[in-house]
């Protein structure tokens, strides 16, 4: 028998339904909130995982939905470049295949090629002539050098393909390759002479040193720091010793750096024992200290001058900083670039990336990043006024020096000096500057000399210092980088107090 439902009974049951529904909804919201909190906590605990998942999702979304088909390699390289660029570090970068290949050639110290320094305009020249490849210089004792190719020659075709339409990467790809294979070139010399040259690729060692004697002074110029640099520098020292040298000049100007171990090895040639450089990273267990050996090939009593300028960076500054802090050398020139960080290169298939992993410190425990190393004796090349720059710009655009050098390939020094005086009277430029411009143009068509004592004022000063005979007294006035940094801080504090 069914119970009759009174209004009060119906209200009671309806209240129970609402109560149960409210409890169920509360449980649902509580569970949802708990999951949200858990998700938020997970994101806080693993933000890297969250962001990498988002990047992957965006990559896939673009692949599926962008209005045009996209090469995944383009997206990958763009993402890599953007990610590393976001560090705001000019020394960390993504390296596409071509850049990775060039970097490997430098860091390994050798590559398969023909042995030519080349340049190429990115577009047709202002005079309308094609943008052919120009030979800056053949590397001595390489197939390119032995083939008779000269500085200033144009490579107008490689294996039958005009270089006018090739990019620099494409040109390098055709000139470099497996040793033993032939490369066929068409060379243009001057306006009319054109001839074929067949070169067999060989293993080319990256040029890293130049050296010669200046009277009884050994002059050693380091171009870069590769695995071969220490060995080639040791060859130079052996030659200096055989010729009875009484002093040494180490030229680090415009040397952008290279391998850390190579910089330590070079310092070992001149310093006996003690710290050369230390590196400090975010991970303390990865910090390192590099020491010199107890016996140096260059005896401590041999006076030494180091040349630096604003183009001296990284490994060059490691060497200059160590020699200065250890009281081994007198620095001449101008303040160095100021790159006090260490980069590691990591391969990614045929591409890769370069990233800063540590900062280096000189023996007096100073990091010179964005500061540079000041010389003990500043020697600057003459600076140009605005009027000089206008006259120089006009002279360059008039093309008179290249035209004269081309027409007078066998000019004597006296003839070049007479031409310089004529240019001086017309353009009102310093005669020494004009002579130097003429010499530079002449060197474009011959193998450049190891040094140019006539116009290099910094080298002139280095030679003068070593010949004066008071080097020991001079070195007693030198200060470590730490002492110079402390002085600068005290001067700054005094200036603020006053």
- State how far the Cα of 388 lies from the Cα of 228, in Å rounded to an integer: 42
Q: Is 400 one of the catalytic residues?
A: no
Task: Give the CA count within 13 Å in the CB-facing half-sphere of 421.
Answer: 5
- Indicate the angle between helix axes 260-268 and 229-242, nearest 10 degrees: 20
Q: Please enumerate in sequence order all residues whose Cβ is within 8 A of that of 291, keeping only pairs 6 or more positions apart, or say none.
A: 273, 274, 275, 276
- Both tokens of 243, joined, read 């010729």
Look at residue 308 and give its three-state secondary structure.
strand
Distance (Å, rounded) from C-alpha 135 to C-alpha 115? 10
Query: Vertex 310, ends 226 and 91: CA angle to 5°?
Result: 55
Indicate the SS3 state at residue 50.
helix
Active site residue 325: yes
10 Å CB burial of residue 145 (0-12, 13-18, 19+) is: middle
In angstroms, rounded to a whole number, what is the distance separating the alpha carbons of residues 226 and 204?
13
Q: Which of 325, 341, 376, 456 is catalytic?
A: 325
The helix or strand, by DSSP H or E, that contains position 14, with its residue range, turns out to be: helix 7-45
Structure letter (DSSP) for residue 209? E
Please state, in angstroms and as integers, the Cα–Cα distance from residue 59 to each residue in 71, 344, 350, 462, following that order.
Answer: 11, 27, 21, 58
Give all strands (DSSP E) within 394-464, no chain letters. none
Q: Is 314 a catalytic residue?
A: yes
| Helix pair angle (400-407, 386-398), 10° resolution | 50
Which of 92, 278, 314, 364 is an active site residue?
A: 314
- Of 210, 221, 324, 339, which one is the catalytic site residue? 339
- Residue 438 burial by CB count (10 A; 0-12/13-18/19+): exposed, middle or buried? buried
Question: Which of left, alpha, beta for 257 (phi over 0: left; psi -120 to 50: alpha)?
Answer: left
- Looking at the DSSP bridge assignments, the partners of residue 200 are 182
Residue 418: closest CA among 398, 404, 406: 404
Q: How many residues does the chain have?
A: 498
d(CA 480, CA 379) in angstroms, rounded, equals 19
Q: Label the pairing between strands 330-333 and 377-378.
A: parallel
For the stretch 15-23, contacts whose Cβ atoms lie closer than 8 Å and that sit 24 or more positions apart, written own/partner, are: none
Active site residues: 314, 325, 339
């Amino acid at each position: 028998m069914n119970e009759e439902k009174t209004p009060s009974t119906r209200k009671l049951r309806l209240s129970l339904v609402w109560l149960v529904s409210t409890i169920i909804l509360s449980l649902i919201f509580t569970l949802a909130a708990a999951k949200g909190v858990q998700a938020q906590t997970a994101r806080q605990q693993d933000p890297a995982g969250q962001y990498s998942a988002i990047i992957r999702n965006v990559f896939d979304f673009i692949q599926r939905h962008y209005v045009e088909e996209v090469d995944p390699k383009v997206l990958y390289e763009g993402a890599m470049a953007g990610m590393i660029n976001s560090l705001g570090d000019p020394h960390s970068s993504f390296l596409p295949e071509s850049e990775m290949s060039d970097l490997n050639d430098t860091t390994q110290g050798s590559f398969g090629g023909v042995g030519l320094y080349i340049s190429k305009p990115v577009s047709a020249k202002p005079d309308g002539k094609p943008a052919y490849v120009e030979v800056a210089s053949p590397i001595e004792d390489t197939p390119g050098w032995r083939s008779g190719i000269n500085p200033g020659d144009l490579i107008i075709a490689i294996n039958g393909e005009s270089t006018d339409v090739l990019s620099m990467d494409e040109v390098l790809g055709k000139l470099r390759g497996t040793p033993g294979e032939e490369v066929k070139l068409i060379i243009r010399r001057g306006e009319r002479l054109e001839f074929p040259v067949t070169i067999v690729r060989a293993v080319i060692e990256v040029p890293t040193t130049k050296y010669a004697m200046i009277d009884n002074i050994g002059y050693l110029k380091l171009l870069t720091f590769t695995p071969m640099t220490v060995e080639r520098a040791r060859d130079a020292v052996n030659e200096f010793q055989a010729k009875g040298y009484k002093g040494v000049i180490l030229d680090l100007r415009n040397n952008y750096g290279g391998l850390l171990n190579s910089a330590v090895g070079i310092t070992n040639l001149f310093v006996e024992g003690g710290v050369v450089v230390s590196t400090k990273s975010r991970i303390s267990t990865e910090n390192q200290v590099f020491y010199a050996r107890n016996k140096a090939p260059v005896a401590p009593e041999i006076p030494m001058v180091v040349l630096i300028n604003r183009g001296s960076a990284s490994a060059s500054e490691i060497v200059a900083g160590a020699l200065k802090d250890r009281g081994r050398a007198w620095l001449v020139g101008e303040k160095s670039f100021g790159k006090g960080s260490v980069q590691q290169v990591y391969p990614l298939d045929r591409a890769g990336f370069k990233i800063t992993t540590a900062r280096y410190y000189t023996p007096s425990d100073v990091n010179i990043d964005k500061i540079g190393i000041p010389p003990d004796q500043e020697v600057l090349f003459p600076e140009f006024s605005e009027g000089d720059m206008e006259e120089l710009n006009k002279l360059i655009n008039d093309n008179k020096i290249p035209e004269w050098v081309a027409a007078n390939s066998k000019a004597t020094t006296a003839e070049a000096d007479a031409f310089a005086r004529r240019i001086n009277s017309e353009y009102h430029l310093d005669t020494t500057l004009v002579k130097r411009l003429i010499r530079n143009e002449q060197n474009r068509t011959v193998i450049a000399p190891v040094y140019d004592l006539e116009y290099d004022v910094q080298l002139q000063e280095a030679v003068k210092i070593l010949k004066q005979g008071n080097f020991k007294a001079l070195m007693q006035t030198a200060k470590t980088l730490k002492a110079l940094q402390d002085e600068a801080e005290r001067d700054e504090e005094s200036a603020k107090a006053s």
